[in-house]
Amino acid sequence: MRVVAGKYRGRHFLVPSSFKARPTTDFAKENLFNVLRSYIDFDAEPTALDLFAGTGSITLELLSRGCRRVVCVEKDPQHFQLITSFLDKLGERNCYPLRADVFRLLPTLHEQFDLIFADPPYSLQSLHSLPDIIQGHRLLKPDGIFALEHGKADDFHANPCLIDTRQYGSVNFSLFRFPQT
């Protein structure tokens, strides 16, 4: 796994082949961040929430590109330990890893973020409820973006808050912006 851009650009991190989590490919990650740059000003040091952090690939990319605070959430103890070891290797202190179940944690969060990224297992039964959950708990700042990675079988075009979709091979991203009420 490699960090694509920013202050940690080119840093490699070994992910054991026995891991279930699949890091977002470099190609998909680079293209996603190219799209996100049109919505998020990374020079303004945004805050981010990385849900279903897996190997920590997106967390590391967010930190590398200038996020001043990243909260990453991973339930699996082995994956969580891997993420914390990567953060320790970098001496990174702007990340707050949480070992938790995303669906139990979200109602307890009282912080808003500029960017929320979620890469749940593609087979997750409640995958389609994630945009509504994020919106319902008001976890995004005004003009914040929710980016959801998912498989090609999932379609969010009926969601009125969908603002962009991208496909890179078998990796799909849907981007949402929610009205502030």
Structure tokens at 66: 């200038």
Q: Given the DSSP bridges, would you call strands 95-98 and 162-168 parallel, antiparallel or unpaired?
A: unpaired
- 112 pLDDT higher than 90: yes
In tens, the pLDDT along 114-144 reads 999 999 988 888 889 999 999 999 999 999 9
Return the CA Rg of the chain: 15
Residue type at position 18: S
Residue type at position 50: D
The mean per-residue pLDDT over the stretch 95-110 comes to 96
In tens, the pLDDT along 156-181 reads 999 999 999 999 988 999 999 998 76
- The chain-wide mean pLDDT, for the chain, equals 94
Fill in the DSSP letter of residue 78.
H
CA angle 134, 43, 37 (to 5 degrees): 55
127-162 burial: b if 16+ Cβ within 10 Å, else e? beebbebbbeeebbeeebbbbbbbeeeeebeeeebb
Q: How far apart are alpha carbons 114 and 71 in whole angstroms?
A: 12
Question: What pLDDT score was predicted for residue 143?
Answer: 93
